[in-house]
Amino acid sequence: MQSEAAIGDWRLVIHRLRRDARSVAAASVLLSVVLVVLIGPALSPYQPFEQLDITNLVHARPSALHLLGTDAYSRDVLSRVLSGGRISLAVALSAVFIETVIGVLWGLTAGLAGGRTDRVMMRCVDAGMSVPRVLLLLALLAAISQVPVWLLVLVLGLSGWFGIARLVRAEARLTQASDFVLAARALGAGPVRVAWGHVLPHVLGPVLVWSTLAIGQVIVLEAGLSWLGIGVQPPQASWGNIIGDGAEFIASAPWVSLAPGFCLVAVVLAVSALGDGLRDALAPRQLPRT
């Protein structure tokens, strides 16, 4: 799958994106979430760690005072959700950034080097892709009692670059055989220049699509890990651990778990829709032949 629009055509891509209702809706949702999560905590009357009234306000139902009710420790759920949103999004973005960088470098190197190097590098990628990511993360993180956020990000990033490496390597090999690269080589361009100037622009499109979709995956993954207790550590909220806190009381106080859950679903949906929209904008599907 080659991107139809190389880096020079970004304006065309953005134009197509703007015309796609689904992408516009998705982007708006994401932007609103980001805004709320950034500004919200400053505006919220309660602190996310603040235990308000442990005798009376435990598991209070949602009301005008507490829009999303309170949790088992009488903390305001809404503020926790906002604060958790910040962390969850930050972790996802940073982890995806790391994955993308590693994956692109690995894929480019393997694809352009070819031969034995390529085979060995790809065997590693195969191995990585065969391991269920969750198991790998469990194994890495559960050994440590209080996982610091930077380590979480690092580990998430290190466990997720395989898919993109494979994608980039395939593109690199395809592009490498194409005429303009051969021409560049004939003009004396060295491998780094070829990689950077010629192959990379072609690869950027699919990489961007992949990264967008990866953000959704990582958010869910971090939430899952936090829910199990090995992701973001309390008292710092994360959508995952709020759900975890509420899981036991799912029958009596469902709002604790349901609220962050809906936020998760909304963000992942928006991210997936945006990714799809990007994919379409980069390589519009052809009309049926008549």
Partner 1 sequence: MRALIQRVWHGLVVVAIVATATFVLVRLAPGDPFAVALDDARLTPALRAQWREAYGLDGSVMTQYVRWLAALLHGDLGWSVSTSQPVSSAIANALPNTLLLMGTALVFSFAIGMGLGAWQAARHNRAVDRVIGATTLFAAALPDFWLALVVLLTGAYWFRVFPVGGATDPLLPLSASTLSIVADRVMHLVLPVCTLVLLIAAPVARQQRAALLDRLQVDWVRTARAKGLAPRQVFRRHAWRTALGPVITLGGLALPALVGGAVFVEHVFAWPGMGQLAAAAIAARDYHLVVGCVIVGAAMVVVGSILADLLVNHLDPRAAAADADRAAAGA
Q: Check residue 116 for interaction with partner 1 (CB under 8 A).
A: no
Contact range with partner 1 by CB under 8 A, out of 10-18, 36-44, 54-62, 261-269: 261-269
Q: Check residue 243 for interaction with partner 1 (CB under 8 A).
A: yes
Q: Give the per-residue contact string, 128-147, with partner 1 (x = CB under 8 A; - = no).
A: -xxxxxxxx-xxx-xxx---
Cα 121 from Cα 111, distance rounded (Å): 9
Among 257, 274, 278, 282, binds partner 1 (CB under 8 A): 257
Cα 233 from Cα 227, distance rounded (Å): 10
Q: How far is the CB of 272 from partner 1 (least distance, A)?
A: 5
Q: Check residue 272 for interaction with partner 1 (CB under 8 A).
A: yes
Among 74, 227, 238, 241, binds partner 1 (CB under 8 A): 227
Q: Check residue 7 for interaction with partner 1 (CB under 8 A).
A: no
Phi-psi region of 189 (alpha: psi -120 to 50; beta: other; left: phi over 0): beta
List Cβ neighbours of 11 (8 Å cut-off, separation of 6 or more).
none
Cα 253 from Cα 72, distance rounded (Å): 9
DSSP string, 155-217: HHHHTS-HHHHHHHHHHHHHHHTSHHHHHHHHTT--HHHIIIIIIHHHHHHHHHHHHHHHHHH
Q: How far is the CB of 9 from partner 1 (least distance, A)?
A: 24
Taking the least distance from each CB to partner 1, the nearer of 17 and 225 is 225
Q: How many residues bind partner 1 (CB under 8 A)?
A: 40
Q: Check residue 265 for interaction with partner 1 (CB under 8 A).
A: yes
The answer to whether residues 239 and 91 touch, using CB atoms and an 8 Å cutoff, is no
Q: How far is the CB of 191 from partner 1 (least distance, A)?
A: 23
Q: Check residue 224 for interaction with partner 1 (CB under 8 A).
A: yes
- The dihedral built from the CA positions of residue 237, 238, 241 and 247, taken in this order, carries a sign that is positive
Q: Check residue 123 for interaction with partner 1 (CB under 8 A).
A: yes
Cα 174 from Cα 198, distance rounded (Å): 12
Map residue 21 onto helix, strand or coil.
helix
Taking the least distance from each CB to partner 1, the nearer of 61 and 123 is 123
Taking the least distance from each CB to partner 1, the nearer of 59 and 185 is 59
- Exposed (0-12), middle (13-18) or buried (19+): which is 249, by Cβ within 10 Å? middle
Q: Give the per-residue contact string, 152-191, with partner 1 (x = CB under 8 A; - = no).
A: ----------------------------------------
What residues make contact with partner 1 under the rule CB under 8 A? 123-124, 126-127, 129-136, 138-140, 142-144, 216, 220, 223-224, 227-228, 243, 247, 250-251, 254, 257-258, 261, 264-265, 268-269, 272-273, 288-289
